[in-house]
Structure 1
Amino acid sequence: MNTFVKLAAVSALVLPAISYAQYGNDRPLTRAEVRQQLIDIENAGYNPAIADDLNYPADIQAAQRRLAQSQAAAQNGGPNTSGYGAPARGATQSGQ
Structure 2
Amino acid sequence: MNETIRTILVAAAVVIMSASTVPQVYAQETGANATSATQAAPVTKAEKKAARKEARAKKNAELKKLEDAGYNPAKANDPNYPQDLQNAQKKARVGASASQ
- Provide the TM-score with structure 1 as the length reference: 0.49
Higher RCO (C-alpha 8 Å, min separation 6): 2
- Find the structure with the greater CA-based Rg: 1
Q: Which has the higher helix share?
A: 2
- Provide the TM-score with structure 2 as the length reference: 0.47
